């Protein structure tokens, strides 16, 4: 999408994040530009993808399993990862903020579930410790283009172009 075009539509968001495999692939491109990194032993690109669940890897070094959400608030969530990404996008792209009530109705979730989701997404966005991990925010200079940042110890990794 060229600068100046409209923000992503709900339909475009849904198409982009229509299943868990796409959502994990999106997060993996952000967090692991050099290939999957085992959070247990630190091995990079020495993991095989399991077929049982999307986004799951088994490390060939230490034999433990992990996913891109390991060590983040998204780990072992009962919500689809797609819901996290779409919620983060909606939060980040609403310049005046979006209420949990509104978000609950947009996402079709209970208010209480949504409140907790929003709380964790905001904590992720505010985190500057590198513990977490996912910020998805709209870059105002590239209107309509989602710029996702994953805060790591090495600093934020801009993802311009993922949503071209
Ligand atoms: Zn390992």
Query: Please, how many CA atoms are within 13 Å of residue 84, restricted to the half-sphere of its CB?
Result: 28
93 and 61 within one domain = no
CA distance 114 to 76: 16
Overall domain count for the chain: 2
**pTM, entire model:** 0.73
Q: How far apart are CA 108 and CA 35, in angstroms?
A: 34
Q: How far apart are the CA of 117 and the centre of ligand 1, in A?
A: 29
Cα 158 to averaged position of ligand 1 atoms, centre (Å): 26
Q: How far is the CA of 110 from the centre of ligand 1 (A)?
A: 37
pLDDT tens for the chain, 164 residues: list them: 444 445 567 787 788 888 999 889 888 877 787 889 898 998 988 999 998 888 999 999 999 999 988 877 788 889 998 898 888 878 777 767 789 999 999 999 999 999 999 988 877 766 643 333 333 433 333 333 333 433 333 344 443 333 32
Same domain, 1 and 51: no
Same domain, 96 and 109: yes
State whether 26 and 106 are in the same domain.
yes
Please list, in sequence order, all residues whose beta carbon lies within 8 angstroms of the beta carbon of residue 113, skipping any fewer than 6 positions away. 79, 104
Structural domain for 51, as ranges:
33-67
How many Cα atoms sit within 13 Å of 77 on the Cβ side? 23
Measured in Å, residue 67 CA sits from the centre of ligand 1 at 11
């Amino acid at each position: 999408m060229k600068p100046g075009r409209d923000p992503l539509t709900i339909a475009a968001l849904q198409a982009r994040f229509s299943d868990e495999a796409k959502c994990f692939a999106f997060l993996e491109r952000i967090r692991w530009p050099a290939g999957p990194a085992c959070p247990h032993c630190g091995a990079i690109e020495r993991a095989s993808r399991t077929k049982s669940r999307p986004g799951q890897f088994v490390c060939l070094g230490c034999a433990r399993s992990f996913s891109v959400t390991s060590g983040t608030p998204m780990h072992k969530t009962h919500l689809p990862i797609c819901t996290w990404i779409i919620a983060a996008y909606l939060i980040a792209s609403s310049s005046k903020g979006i209420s949990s009530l509104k978000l609950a109705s947009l996402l079709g979730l209970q208010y209480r579930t949504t409140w907790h989701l929003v709380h964790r997404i905001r904590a992720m966005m505010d985190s500057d410790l590198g513990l977490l991990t996912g910020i998805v925010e709209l870059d105002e200079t590239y209107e309509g283009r989602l710029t996702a940042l994953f805060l790591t110890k090495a600093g934020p990794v801009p993802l311009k172009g993922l949503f071209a």
